[in-house]
Structure 1
Amino acid sequence: MSKVQAPELKKYMDKLLFVNLQGHRKVSGYLRGFDIFLNLVLDEAREEGTADKVECGTVVIRGNSVTSMELLAAR
């Protein structure tokens, strides 16, 4: 039986991430937590739209909907 390992995201804690999701949705926010399934907790999150950005506050994103992540800036 293989052991499940947590993703290597500790170095991104408290940093601003841009997350691409399935369904062509995009969210940015500060990474506050994660688990072995790549579920993410983002603070000060905003959904990035074509014309405007919607403030969301703190959000939990299911790991199976994440297609890619990009580091935007350190705080």
Structure 2
Amino acid sequence: MNRYMPLTGHDCTIPALLIDTQAPLDVLHDAAAHRIRAVTQLLENIAFRETLKKTSKSGEIRLSHELNG
């Protein structure tokens, strides 16, 4: 078995992520959790920017409501 196993969950012919098969499970879990947090923060940022665009177009300022709710 190769030490690095390519992630092949999509139709790309060149793997962008390699999994170290000899890494401890807690390290793999931490790496996966970090990647999920990064993507979640990116998506939240994009959604927040869209909210800002919509509120600025309508002339309303609702930033405190958007941040709290």
TM-score range, shorter chain: under 0.3
Q: TM-score scaled to structure 1, two decimals?
A: 0.19
Q: Pick 1 or 2: higher relative contact order, CA cutoff 8 A, min separation 6.
A: 1
TM-score normalised by L of structure 2: 0.20
Which one has the largest radius of gyration? Answer: 2
